[in-house]
């Protein structure tokens, strides 16, 4: 294959039209082309008077030597997998988020039938349960935005871009397309699926894996681990008050970043854990049209998608603040998983056609900020903030919200301006400074003002802050060696909850790697 880079396009054109422009530029005859595809599409908005698309196209031609100025590329193929040791018991995957799903998919595609245990509901029921919480404020601690089939990322923006550079990323995108995601995620520079489409994609994945021999146990919670001579031998699980024992020698721990009681059980059973850095903060909402104007200007005639942003700030006090999980045209969503807590996240549907844009603004937290040196101290730090937010919001799952102007002036908001909060089931006008640690409040104030110099309107007085955001990543790392195995043989810490991923893409890739390691293919997992 040959690759044509950086083709500027200043009109809304079809892929076919872009292809013709590309081959004309390089004097390639259409008859010479055996196959082609768009490999990348991005928006160049650095100059507001010349906002345009930039494309890359991959071509297969009859004679590559005729075009020495074009880059030659190799197509990545998943490695041929050989099971290098006998699997005498069915592997168990705990957790049905991206890491768990892609672990399971890798196993079934190699004729190994895993058992997937998920404390939450299958996606069809989970969707109803989440909507009930948003409308009525009645929380199901076992099935919610954090727990259930698809994991926490299901009720988000469905972002698939990542900071990791792995050949498995393209494999993940192809699998999502195979199960119903739009084909454009294969080449967009910032691909996303959206919550509405992700629901059906996940259901299709599950139904396929069941046909291939996988077993899904929903509304089933692992509550203990049998470990003999530093090896996993069995799990204990409970389903509707009925207990069962599952013998296994291989457990992939894809438990997610909110599995606090499971972290505690693992710690008690001698699995090595350590505290890790994470971040806390709030959600900020603007009108999406403000973000569009700031990013694209007002001159372009292109039909551009809702604009995004990504910003970072470093204070003089060794604190950093950054935007995270920015959701164009989305809503702030109630993401609590424990009674009497407020947790926020952001969510968008595929079209991203909501009135508001929202993003987390987060400040880094380190183990030095915790009350003690326990590996689980970060969980206590998170929970205290979540409980304070619950109380400040009115102790009814209403979230505390505040206008940006009032937050900067450290006074309670008394009214709402142009930007209307999207959080359900409701909100309470508050002063978030009262519950945030001082170093978080101060850094947020500095960062908001700084971000306004990079993205005009970011600090608009009527922008809305909603508290609190505490679950951006796991506060715990479950240690593992170069073969992805913990200090207990047969246990594979995996994904975001174990501290090795930070989003749908990186968690999915980590799930593939852990499954390959379980199969004995260590050469392909680095």
Give residue-wise pLDDT tens across range 83-119. Answer: 666 677 899 999 999 999 999 999 999 999 999 999 9
Whether pLDDT at 281 is above 60: yes
Residues 6+ apart with CB under 8 A from 408: 445, 448, 449, 459
Domain carrying residue 383: 278-469
Average pLDDT on 22-43 reads 94
CA distance 40 to 186: 8
Q: Is residue 79 part of a domain?
A: no
Q: How far apart are CA 381 and CA 260, in angstroms?
A: 12
pLDDT of residue 165: 83
Condensed to tens digits (0 to 9), the pLDDT of residues 166-194 reads: 889 999 999 999 999 999 999 999 999 98
Tell me: pLDDT of 80 over 70. no
Domain CATH for 268: 3.50.50.60
The CATH number of the domain where 11 resides is what?
3.30.70.2700
Q: pLDDT > 70: what percent of the chain?
A: 97
The pLDDT, as a whole number, for residue 84 is 63
What mean pLDDT do residues 423-428 have?
Answer: 98
Q: Report the distance separating Cα 117 and Cα 256, nearest Å.
A: 13
Are 270 and 284 members of one domain? no
Query: What span, in angstroms and rounded, lies between the C-alpha atoms of 331 and 524?
Result: 39
Measured distance CA(387)–CA(368) in Å, rounded: 21
Closest to 414 measured CA to CA, from 426, 400, 402, 397 = 402
Q: Quote the number of domains for the chain.
A: 3
131 and 218, same domain (yes or no): yes
Is residue 80 in a domain? no
Element (H, E) at 21: helix 15-25
Name the band, by pLDDT with cuts 50, 70 and 90, for residue 435.
very high
On whether both 109 and 196 belong to a single domain, the answer is yes
Q: What is the mean pLDDT of the chain?
A: 94
Answer yes or no: is pLDDT of 523 > 70: no
- Domain end, chosen from 72, 102, 121, is at 72
pLDDT in tens, 386-395: 999 999 999 9
Residues 323 and 463 in one domain: yes
Question: 82-86, 367-371, 439-443 — which is least confidently predicted?
Answer: 82-86
Instruction: Please determine, for residue 301, whether its predicted confidence score (pLDDT) is greater than 90.
Output: yes
Residues 174 and 49 in one domain: no
Q: Is 465 in the same domain as 479?
A: no
Mean pLDDT of 225-238: 97
Query: Which pLDDT score, from 0 to 100, does residue 161 have?
Result: 85
């Amino acid at each position: 294959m040959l690759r044509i880079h950086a083709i500027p396009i200043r009109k809304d054109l079809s892929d076919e039209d872009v292809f013709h422009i590309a081959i004309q530029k390089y004097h390639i005859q259409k008859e010479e082309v055996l196959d082609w595809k768009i490999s990348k599409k991005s928006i160049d908005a650095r100059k507001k008077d010349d906002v345009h698309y930039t494309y890359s196209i991959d071509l297969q031609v009859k004679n590559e030597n005729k075009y020495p100025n074009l880059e030659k590329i190799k197509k990545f193929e998943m490695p041929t997998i050989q099971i290098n040791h006998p699997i005498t018991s069915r592997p168990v995957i705990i957790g049905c988020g991206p890491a768990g799903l892609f672990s399971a998919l890798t196993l079934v595609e190699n004729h190994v039938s895993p058992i997937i245990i998920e404390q939450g509901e299958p996606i069809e029921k989970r969707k109803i349960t989440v909507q009930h919480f948003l409308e009525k404020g009645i929380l199901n601690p076992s099935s919610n935005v954090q727990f259930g089939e698809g994991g926490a990322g299901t009720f988000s923006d469905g972002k698939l871009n990542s900071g990791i550079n792995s050949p498995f990323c393209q494999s993940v995108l192809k699998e999502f397309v195979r199960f119903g995601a739009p084909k454009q995620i294969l080449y967009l520079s910032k691909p996303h699926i959206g919550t509405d489409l992700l629901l059906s994609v996940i259901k299709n994945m599950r139904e396929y894996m069941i046909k291939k021999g996988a077993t899904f146990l929903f509304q089933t919670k692992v509550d203990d681990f049998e470990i003999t001579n530093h090896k996993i031998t069995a799990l204990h699980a409970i389903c509707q008050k009925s207990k069962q024992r599952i013998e296994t020698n291989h457990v992939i721990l894809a438990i997610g970043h909110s599995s606090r009681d499971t972290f505690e059980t693992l710690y008690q059973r001698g699995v090595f854990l350590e505290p890790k850095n994470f971040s806390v903060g709030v959600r900020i909402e603007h009108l999406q049209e403000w973000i569009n104007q700031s990013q694209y200007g007002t001159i372009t005639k292109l039909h551009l998608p809702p604009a995004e942003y990504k910003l970072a700030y470093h204070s003089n006090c060794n604190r950093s603040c950054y935007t995270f999980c920015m959701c164009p045209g989305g809503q702030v969503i109630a993401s609590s998983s424990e009674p009497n807590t407020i947790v926020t996240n952001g969510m968008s549907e595929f079209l991203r056609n909501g009135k508001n844009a929202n993003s987390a603004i987060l400040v880094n937290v380190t183990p030095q900020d915790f009350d003690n040196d326990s590996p689980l101290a970060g969980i206590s730090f998170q929970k205290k903030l979540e409980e304070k937010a619950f109380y400040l919001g009115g102790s009814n799952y209403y979230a505390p919200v505040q206008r940006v102007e009032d937050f900067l002036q450290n006074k309670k908001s008394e009214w709402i301006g142009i930007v209307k909060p999207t959080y359900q089931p409701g909100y309470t006008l508050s002063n978030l400074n009262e519950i945030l640690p001082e170093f978080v409040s101060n850094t947020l104030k500095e960062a908001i003002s700084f971000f306004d110099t990079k993205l005009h309107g970011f600090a608009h007085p009527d922008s809305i802050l909603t508290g609190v955001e505490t679950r951006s990543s796991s506060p715990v790392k479950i240690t593992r060696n170069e073969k992805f195995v913990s200090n207990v043989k047969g246990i594979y810490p995996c994904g975001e909850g174990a501290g090795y991923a930070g989003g749908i893409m990186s968690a999915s890739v980590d799930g593939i790697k852990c499954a390959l390691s379980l199969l004995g293919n260590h050469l392909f997992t680095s």
